[in-house]
Amino acid sequence: MSALPSSSAAIHASGLVRRFGDFTAVDGVDLDIQPGEIYGFLGPNGSGKSTTVRVLCTLISPSGGSATVAGFDVATHPDEVRLRIGVALQDAALDPMQSGVELLRLQGRLYGLTKREVAIRLAEVSDLVDIGEAIDRPIGTYSGGMKRRLDLAASLMHNPDILFLDEPTTGLDPVSRARVWEEVRRLNDELGTTIFLTTQYLEEADELADRVGILSAGRIVAEGTPDELKRSVGEDVIIARIDGDGSAALAAVHGIAGVSTAELHGDELTIAAADGASIISPVAVALSGTGVHVKDLTLRTTTLDDVFLELTGNRIERRDDVTPEEVSA
């Protein structure tokens, strides 16, 4: 008989720990992700993102704490969890000798779909990932982007409630990355699929996630919407390099609504504001009214990288930035 869900959250974790020998990869992670949410799990390589996903997806058991996915405990009811989740792991694990259609059929059958249901879902997910006639070709002939999209299609064959995407765009070119983002958004918007997305791309978390958890050394060091997180570490800054009467320019921008502070250092006027984008036009107009010559005007918004730097003292080192020597070491 089927077990009953023990939690209404799509994903819930309490003090989740995973150790490998003496090394603690996940160190007391708490999560509460509601159905329909896109949750971004952001952190550098080795921060514990993938290990957390492997625990939540029932591939490995937790060493401590607890977690429920789709309401079922990952340790005690892994089969119930597996029926309700789709997973695209970090490296699209595909058999180069299988064709795309063979992979999708196998995936469907292993999730208990009848042959007719497999045929229906095959048509639906093939449209979704837009692989075209290549779906009948051996996967070994696919490009990196096609493999990622096929992997995504395979994770959707059984129409899961919750989708885990572990660094879905790492290594993809910008066009392929944009397509995956588009597909993730559509899944969430049109089907209401809850999406747990790990990434080391700040812009990806910023672009897609309703909420972001920042992971460092196995711990969540900050959590919130991207805007909340950015606001928590500082304001946007507008920098104007000017020729002319600096004190007049300073006085002019001080009067603009939304400006928090304005300072003049040499020919550089620095204006801080909570929402820099909304005041850049008034600033330009005000400066022009004072008769100073504006050599350039720059808006620097706070990024999640700034948040990460503030919280951990490090910048996120993306896998793409790693040298081949480091990879092979």
CB of 326 to other proteins, least distance (A): 21
Residue 60 touching other proteins (CB under 8 A): yes
**CB under 8 A: which stretch of 176-184, 219-227, 236-244, 281-289 binds other proteins?**
176-184
Q: Binders of other proteins among 27-56, rule CB under 8 A?
A: 54
The residue (of 187 and 195) whose beta carbon lies closer to other proteins is 187
- The token pair at 283 is 């600033």
- Is the distance from CB of 219 to CB of 27 less than 8 angstroms? yes
Out of 21, 112, 313, 324, the only residue in the binding site for other proteins (CB under 8 A) is 112
124 binds other proteins (CB under 8 A): yes
- With binding defined as CB under 8 A, does residue 158 bind other proteins? yes
Nearest to 289 by CA among 266, 255, 260, 263: 255
Sheet of 162-166, strand order? 85-88, 162-166, 194-199, 38-42, 211-216, 219-224
What is the C-alpha end-to-end distance of the chain, expressed in Å? 49
Q: How far is the CB of 68 from other proteins (least distance, A)?
A: 17
At residue 26, the 3 state secondary structure works out as strand
Residue written as token pair 């029926």 = 83
Residues with Cβ within 8 Å of residue 106, at least 6 apart in sequence:
98
Of residues 3 and 285, the one with the C-beta less far from other proteins:
3
One residue of 46, 79, 227, 245 binding other proteins per CB under 8 A: 79
Q: Is 159 in the site for other proteins (CB under 8 A)?
A: yes
Q: Which two tokens stand for residue 302?
A: 């706070």
302: β partners: none
> Quick one: which H or E segment has residue 56?
helix 49-56
Q: Which residue type occupies 231?
A: R
Task: Please report whether residue 117 would count as binding other proteins according to CB under 8 A.
Answer: yes
Beta bridge partners of 163: 86, 195
Closest approach, Cβ 57 to other proteins, in A, equals 6
Q: How far is the CB of 91 from other proteins (least distance, A)?
A: 6
Residue 226 phi/psi, 5° resolution?
-55, -40
- Contact present, 211 and 39 (Cβ < 8 Å): yes
Contact between 191 and other proteins per CB under 8 A:
yes
Nearer Cβ to other proteins, position 181 or 274? 181
Two tokens, residue 216? 């460092």
Provide the minimum distance between the beta carbon of 116 and other proteins in the complex, in angstroms, as a whole number. 9
Which residue ranges make up the site for other proteins (CB under 8 A)?
Answer: 54, 57-61, 79, 82-85, 87, 89, 91, 93-95, 97-98, 102, 106-107, 109-113, 117, 120-121, 124, 127-128, 130, 154, 158-160, 174-175, 178-179, 182-183, 186-187, 190-192
